[in-house]
Structure 1
Amino acid sequence: MGDSPAEYIHMVQRLIEECIIFEMNKEECMEALSKHADIKPVITSTVWKELEKENKDFFDAYAQRRDERESRQRIHKMRLDSDTNSK
């Protein structure tokens, strides 16, 4: 933990940015930071919400990319399941 509340918030922000690199959503990030960095989920959620306010366009595009990726993954899984069941 940093020496001041501002340093702590900046550390949480940097960790959230790392979660974003790994394409995590807010809930996944909250869980990861709670488990691996001992940061309370309410802190992560609050900082995430502030980042969303300050960077609305980025987070809108980020959510859309995540949704599209999840849709592709579901379709791929359905195809694999279909191929497996047809054999």
Structure 2
Amino acid sequence: MVDSSSSSYIHLVHRLIEECILLNMNKEECMEALSKHANINPVITSIVWKELEKENNEFFRAYTRSREETVSRTRQRIHNMVSSDSSKQRV
């Protein structure tokens, strides 16, 4: 059985993970941020994240897909900007 303080701690980690998701972080970025800014052991963050994934599988699949699409679009924009700048410099 989980005692009240453990339950509160897990709830806190859960809430902080939700904040990380709102900031469009992946699991590793969230683990790093919570470790650095909230002094939460990355193993705890990982365990809570995995449990949230189990409970909300569809959400996390869509979230991961959306993040991948965002990263892909960002990379394409950067590539286009670099290509545009390099063609201007050749003139």
Band the TM-score falls in, shorter-chain normalisation: over 0.9
C-alpha distance in structure 2 between counterparts of 1:38 and 1:32, whole Å? 9
State the shift of 1:23 in Å: 0.4
Aligned position for 2:44: 43
State the shift of 1:75 in Å: 0.3
C-alpha distance in structure 2 between counterparts of 1:27 and 1:6, whole Å? 23
Aligned position for 1:79: 80
Aligned position for 1:68: 69
C-alpha distance in structure 2 between counterparts of 1:53 and 1:85, whole Å? 46
Kindly provide the CA deviation profile for residues 33-83 of structure 1, in whole angstroms up to 9, marking residues without a partner as x: 000000010000000000000000000000000000000000000000101
Query: What count of residue pairs does the alignment treat as equivalent?
Result: 85
Work out which of the two has the higher radius of gyration on C-alpha atoms and give 1 or 2.
2
Unaligned segments of structure 1, at least 5 residues: none
Aligned position for 2:27: 26
Amino acid in structure 1 at the alignment position of 2:8? E
* Percent of aligned pairs sharing the same letter: 62
Tell me the TM-score normalised to structure 1 length. 0.96
SS at match of 2:68: helix
SS at match of 1:49: helix
- Runs of 4+ in structure 1 off by over 6 angstroms are none
C-alpha distance in structure 1 between counterparts of 2:87 and 2:36, whole Å? 41
Unaligned segments of structure 2, at least 5 residues: none
